[in-house]
């Protein structure tokens, strides 16, 4: 099947766009006196604009992920990457995106903000993409297909073969949102980047890295797509505090590995204990740091837990998730408190 060239998928106004040229990116070489950016000359530690391309941080991430720097975009959370992708590729009131509910809510909200329509092809009962239906639903205006694997709120990874068939058959951009990949057995789709120029893989520092507060998301893609990200993004989209905090955390990888193991161990404990509760109908398998649980009277249970000062996510009104609460794996103490409250019911 003949693929569209990436540029043919990009909105015309973005193809033609002359990006903002910041003071710091116009200058090359070494200098000692910086009088070009209207900064305050007195050293606060933060008086200078940060590196717009975050090259030091990207070098660290490149080494960790095995993806070259030129194939990395960093954003103000993955949410910024989602928004930029929609603005790069989708023409308002003409193009649309495809999503596979039940899934992460931001794709829809981001599309709506840009006045982009959304077509949905629900997952099957095993929460897997229905490849033939998706490809049938797609047309020349289907610019982006969002795959969330492991999927939020169901917790499962998508079958690799199905994702590959979608990458082969879908003519637009395929985004694989891997926010929870560090908790998964399945390998990252970054291994497919060389083969598929229309693939974008998103990851984040918000979950396994324990840095939701610094707002740092990653997108891995072909050089061409990364070029468009850089053209459209606000020049200093990742601030210096965030870049520094991420560097510190990347230098302390051992601690993160320890947390990860604790979360995975606790996940197994929670799964086992939840299955024992008489009103629990199903504990879905999970590849993420949360568990989808189907039970009798989920709304009452949700309210009861709130009274116990324990907040979980009520997903019982979401397509294919009736009866379900989504429970994030906490610390050992937090999980114990949750289980004690659940057992009293």
Ligand X SMILES: *Cc1c(COP(=O)(O)O)cnc(C)c1O
List interacting residues with ligand X (CB under 6 A): 77-79, 104, 148, 152, 177, 179, 204, 206-207, 212, 217
Using the minimum distance from each CB to ligand X, give the nearer residue, 4 or 186. 186
152 contacts 321 by C-beta, under 8 angstroms = no
Using the minimum distance from each CB to ligand X, give the nearer residue, 78 or 335. 78
Measured torsion, CA atoms of residues 125, 321, 285, 134, in degrees rounded to the nearest 10: 40
Residue showing the smallest CB distance to ligand X in the complex? 77
* Shortest distance (Å) from residue 204 CB to ligand X: 3
Using the minimum distance from each CB to ligand X, give the nearer residue, 104 or 228. 104
158 contacts 149 by C-beta, under 8 angstroms = yes
* Shortest distance (Å) from residue 336 CB to ligand X: 25
Q: Which residue in 243, 326, 332 sits closest to 54, CA to CA? A: 243
The Cα 84–Cα 124 span in angstroms is 29
C-alpha separations of 184 from 54, 151, 203 in Å: 28, 11, 13
* Shortest distance (Å) from residue 335 CB to ligand X: 20
Using the minimum distance from each CB to ligand X, give the nearer residue, 74 or 280. 74
SS3 155: coil
For 336, phi and psi rounded to 5 degrees?
-60, -45
Using the minimum distance from each CB to ligand X, give the nearer residue, 82 or 342. 82
* Shortest distance (Å) from residue 110 CB to ligand X: 11
Q: Is the dihedral of CA 71, 75, 77, 83 positive or negative?
A: negative
* Shortest distance (Å) from residue 249 CB to ligand X: 14
Using the minimum distance from each CB to ligand X, give the nearer residue, 50 or 77. 77
Give the bridge partners for 313, in sequence order.
326
The Cα 336–Cα 56 span in angstroms is 41
* Shortest distance (Å) from residue 79 CB to ligand X: 4
């Amino acid at each position: 099947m003949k693929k569209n060239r990436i540029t043919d998928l990009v909105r015309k106004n973005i193809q033609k766009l002359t990006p903002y040229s910041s003071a710091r990116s116009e200058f090359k070489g070494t200098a000692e006196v910086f009088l070009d950016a209207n900064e305050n000359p007195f050293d606060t530690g933060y008086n200078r604009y940060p590196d717009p391309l975050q090259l030091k941080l990207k070098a660290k991430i490149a080494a960790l992920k095995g993806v070259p720097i030129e194939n990395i975009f960093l954003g103000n959370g993955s949410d910024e990457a989602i928004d930029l992708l929609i603005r790069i590729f989708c023409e308002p009131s003409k193009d649309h995106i495809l999503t596979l509910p039940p899934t992460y809510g931001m794709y829809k909200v981001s599309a709506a903000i840009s006045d982009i329509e959304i077509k949905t092809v629900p997952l099957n009962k095993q929460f897997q993409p229905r490849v033939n239906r998706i490809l049938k639903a797609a047309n020349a205006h289907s610019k982006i297909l969002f795959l969330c694997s492991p999927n939020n709120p169901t917790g499962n990874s998508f079958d690799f073969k199905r994702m590959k068939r979608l990458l082969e058959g879908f003519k637009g951009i395929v985004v694989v949102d891997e926010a929870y990949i560090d908790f998964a057995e399945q390998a990252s789709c970054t291994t497919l980047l060389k083969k598929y120029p229309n693939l974008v893989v998103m990851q984040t520092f918000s979950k396994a890295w324990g840095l939701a507060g610094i707002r740092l998301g990653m997108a891995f893609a072909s050089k061409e797509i990364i070029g468009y990200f850089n053209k459209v993004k606000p020049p200093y989209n990742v601030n210096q505090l965030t870049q520094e905090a991420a560097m510190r955390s990347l230098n302390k990888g051992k601690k993160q590995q320890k947390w990860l193991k604790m979360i995975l161990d606790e996940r197994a404990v929670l799964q086992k204990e939840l299955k024992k509760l008489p009103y629990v109908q199903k504990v879905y398998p999970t590849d993420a740091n949360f568990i989808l649980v189907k039970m009798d009277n989920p709304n009452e249970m949700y309210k009861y837990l709130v009274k116990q000062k324990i907040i979980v996510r009520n997903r019982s009104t979401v397509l294919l998730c009736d009866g379900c609460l989504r429970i994030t794996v906490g610390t050992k103490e937090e999980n114990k408190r949750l289980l004690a409250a659940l057992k009293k019911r």
